[in-house]
Amino acid sequence: MGDAAMKADQALPAEIADAMETAGFSPKLATLMSIIKEFGKAKAEVKASSANVATAEPMWPLKGLLPLHVDYQKALRAIKSGQLDAVKLDGGGRWFCTERAMGDWLSKTGQAKR
């Protein structure tokens, strides 16, 4: 038997074996090693996804981001045509947009400054 096979055949302490059986796992060292490996992968995935959330931009109500010289209805038409990136977050009627998306749209349409 190789070293890995010998290690996998080792008996676990009774309290660990009992806890594994209670949780529905086979009380074997190989099973415990698999659980540890999968936990490491899951932890890395959570860390990666939380990094994405941390870099997400805040969204603000569309009306609050629009400059006074830009008509709200014009912004709604831009959303419907896909020119302005905005979403309805509250499941209702209010549109939300990031400052970056608003700035990009205003620049592309020549409405940034008046």
Contact 112, 103 (CB under 8 A): yes
CA 71 to mean position of chain CA atoms: 33
Distance CA 110, CA 104 (A): 10
Helices marked H in 28-113? 29-54, 62-65, 72-80, 99-108
List, in sequence order, every residue forming a beta bridge with 61; answer none if it has no partner.
Answer: 96
Amino acid 28: pLDDT: 87
List, in sequence order, every residue forming a beta bridge with 96; answer none if it has no partner.
Answer: 61, 87
The answer to whether the predicted template modeling score (pTM) of the entire model surpasses 0.75 is no
Contact 95, 87 (CB under 8 A): yes
pLDDT < 70 stretches in the chain:
1-9, 49-55, 90-91, 114
